[in-house]
Each structure stands twice: as structure tokens, then as C-alpha cells.
Amino acid sequence: MNPAVVDSILTSRSRYLDELTRFIAIPSVSALPEHAADTRACAGWLADHMTAVGLQNVRVIDTPGHPVVYGDWLNAPGAPTVLFYGHYDVQPVDPLDQWVSPPFEATVRDNELFARGATDDKGQLFVHLKALEAHLSKTGTLPINARVILEGEEEIGSPNLDQFIRDHKAELACDVVVVSDSPMFEKGVPSICYGLRGLSYFQIDLRGSTTDLHSGSFGGAVANPAFVLAQMLAQMKDRGGHVKIPGFYDDVRELTEREREEFKRLPFNEKQYRKNLGAPRLHGETGYSTLERTWARPTFEVNGLLSGFTGEGSKTVIPATAMAKISMRLVPDQDPDKIAGLFEAYVKKVAPKSVDLKVTRMHGGKPWMTGLDNPYVQAAARAIELGFNRAPVYTREGGSIPIVATFQTELNAPTVLFGLGTPDENAHAPNEKLDLDHFYGGILASAYLYEEIAKTRG
């Protein structure tokens, strides 16, 4: 690579950090209506920044929800086109009292940057903007054609992005998609992730009476929705952690022996993992290791429960309602719509007539997996090795980036997951953080990536 590009990346670290700090300071919480204006302001800030970086045709494009920011640089005829995807929206910050420093004031402690969005995904997407900038400012050109698409609704299930991609297929045409929105296997162990889980999300509402009831006067006469909900949820999984929804496992692609062997070879310390989580004991589907359970097996989880009196002291009451948020993580080749249908049928079957049941589908996303022999994966592996002085390991992940499957089907483009986070990054939780060695190393690796991709023919 041109030494001036490398030199500029190595000498601009404090500026990169200052700029990321300003990006993070805009509280683009997509889930909360009170932050809608901030989310839009963040899109505007990004667009200005992308223009300053040297991207062209930069636009903030409206959707029925939060806007998409687009920019490109397409002046390398004959070279491959890379689509960089990321999301500028972030998760809510509650519980706020558990943050050591304010969530939107990026703070460095022990070479880690703490803030909401530090890793998910502002810090990670910023890496690519800085690498593009380094090339463009020092050489006036890029070895590839680049398109950048940054969305503001990833954390709420990307409700408008599939349609956006279908509507802008020509503008998004590319040979490969590069996404940095996932963790490395371990701090300092660069990784390429070749599989993500999908998702199917629901809310269940039960009502047993028009209002809360005196539990002495009426206890025994009516069903208690909190108790019914617990009984219904208890029927979703058996003691071995297998999901009991009929048909749930029909389309699950089993792990291959080779994959199981490779997972076993990864430097995974189960004892340390348990300790870090503060879990008294690990628990999951029988017959599978922890990595297999989280990366390659589907799950059924309760994300939230609400019912009755939860304040201090006691109150003798039968709650009128009970509510649960539940979600299922899916693996190839489960289809979120099909799974949603199976769940709805089963939940109706296990609900007694003594309560009114409402089942609401929230969002879903397809699981994804790619082959490791893909030449772009190999190009990314070389770039990562150049940027981090260490060859990447190959992982799958339990999280979801539903749009990745859409890139494959709609744009016919493979995705490379160039993850720069860490497993202890506290994404979606208080004290979210990004390792600064990953941030700076990622910028260098991203800068190498363009040349490695330019050498590749898909």
C-alpha cells in the first residue's frame, strides 16, 4: 500500500477519536420517538462527514422511518465495487444509573472507548470511512469502487430497509458487501464471521378480567393471567432445552462434523466465559457445546415479562393482564415467516379458554451463512492479517443482521463480516465499549482490504 496512506492512518489517531466522539454525542436512539430528531440530525452529520471524507453523490434519503445515508465513489472503471453497510442508530441507554460515564460522552479508560454506539455500530462503521478518507486524501483515488449505505433502523429490526434495497437495486449494485457490526472471537484475535442467526420476535398479551381483582374475594374463581403465562411459557421448552413448538427443527441445518471439530479448536475457555457472565452455571440444549448452542442452534427466549404488582411491599391482587416479549433465534435454513406461523399455532393451542390471548408479530430476520472459499473472504483474511499482524479465525455468531440475507438475495452479492468488536463489548447494555487497538487496527486493515479486493475477481 502507498506508504503515505499507512503513515496518515498511524498519525491521525487522535483526530479519529475526536471525530468519533462527536458522532457518538448525537443520541440516535432509533427505538424512542423522543430521539427521532436526534436520529435525523445524526444522519445529517454523517452525510456532511461522508462528503468531507471524499465520497460523492452523498444523500440523506427518506424512508417511512429513519433515513438512510448514501454516498459513493465510482471512479475505478473495471475494478470491483464494494458496498459498505453499517447502522448509525443505537440502542436505548437504560438503566442509566449503571453507566460509569455518561453514555453519549465517549470516554477512554484503559485503551477502551466507553459510550453507547462505541462498538454497535458507530465505532465500527467509522473505521471504513476513515480508511476511505486515508486513501482519497493521500492518493486522490481508490483501488475499488465504493458505495456506502448507513441505516438508522437496524436496532429496531430494519423495518424499511428490505424495501429500500428493492427500490434502489441499480444504485446498490456491487460485487461484495462489507459489514463491521459483529465481535471478534476474542480481544486481539481477529475474526471473520461466516454465519449469523435469524430472528422471530413476538409479544403475547393475556387478559383474565376487565380490571385487577381482590385476590381474596375472587381468588379461585378466575384464571390468573400471570400464572397462565408462566404455564404457557413453560410449555415452550423441555428440560433439555429443546423447543417444543411442533415443526420448529424441521429445517435446521445440522452442524457438519468438520465444523464441530473447528469450533473445538478455537481458543474457548468455558470457565472464564461463565465467570465473565456471572452465571452460576451454563445452561442450554443438551448434546451441544456452548459455541454450538450460541452459533448454530436455534433458541426460544423470554425477553421481558410484565404483570401484576411489582412495587415495594405487598398487594393482594389478581392482575387483569400479563404480557411477555419473546423471541426465537433461528439458524439456516429456518424461515422466520414459517417459524412465526408455527409459533402462533402452538401458542393458541396451549392457551386456556380462561384468558383472552393476543399474539403480535413484531419483527423477523433470516439467518445467513456463507462459504469460506469465497475469494472476497480470502481477500478480507489477507487484509486483516496485514492490519493486525495476525491471521483471522473463522467464527459464526449468535446475533442477527437480517439485511445480510437480503444483500444476497436482492443484490446477489456475498457479504464479508469484518467484525471489530469484542465479546465483552457490552453491546445493548450499560458501559458499551470498543477496544481502541481494534479501532485503529481496523482502519489499517480496511485500507489494505481495498487493494486485496482489487486483486480479486469474484
Residues annotated as catalytic (active site), given as ranges: 89, 154
* Closer residue to Zn ion, CB minimum distance, 80 or 402: 402
Kindly list the residues in this chain that would bind ligand BES in the complex (CB under 6 A): 120-121, 154-155, 157, 181-183, 196, 199, 363, 365, 397, 399-402
Paired strand residues for 299: 329
Residue 402 contact partner, candidates Zn ion, ligand BES, none, CB within 5 to 8 A by sort of partner: ligand BES
Residue 181 contact partner, candidates Zn ion, ligand BES, none, CB within 5 to 8 A by sort of partner: ligand BES
Give the residue closest to Zn ion by C-beta: 120
Cα separation, 116 vs 20, whole angstroms: 12
> Could you tell me if 207 and 321 are in contact, meaning their C-beta atoms sit under 8 angstroms apart?
yes
* Closer residue to ligand BES, CB minimum distance, 355 or 401: 401
Residue 133 interacting with Zn ion (CB under 5 A): no
Q: Minimum distance from CB of 183 to ligand BES (Å)?
A: 6
Q: Which helix (H) or strand (E) holds 112?
A: strand 112-114
The answer to whether the peptide bond before residue 95 is cis (omega within 30 degrees of 0) is yes
Q: Minimum distance from CB of 390 to Zn ion (Å)?
A: 26
Q: Minimum distance from CB of 124 to ligand BES (Å)?
A: 8
Rg value, the chain, Cα = 23
* Closer residue to ligand BES, CB minimum distance, 161 or 320: 161
> Could you tell me if 346 and 245 are in contact, meaning their C-beta atoms sit under 8 angstroms apart?
yes
Cα separation, 400 vs 294, whole angstroms: 12
Residue 157 contact partner, candidates Zn ion, ligand BES, none, CB within 5 to 8 A by sort of partner: ligand BES
- Around Cβ 78, how many Cβ atoms within 10 Å? 6
**Cα 209 to chain centroid, rounded:** 39
Residue 120 interacting with Zn ion (CB under 5 A): yes
* Closer residue to ligand BES, CB minimum distance, 85 or 388: 85
Q: Minimum distance from CB of 329 to ligand BES (Å)?
A: 8
Residue 175 interacting with Zn ion (CB under 5 A): no
Q: Minimum distance from CB of 294 to ligand BES (Å)?
A: 9
> Could you tell me if 104 and 27 are in contact, meaning their C-beta atoms sit under 8 angstroms apart?
yes
Specify the residue for cell string 419483527. 363
* Closer residue to ligand BES, CB minimum distance, 395 or 446: 395
**Max intra-chain CA distance, the chain:** 81
Give the residue closest to ligand BES by C-beta: 399
Cα separation, 235 vs 352, whole angstroms: 12
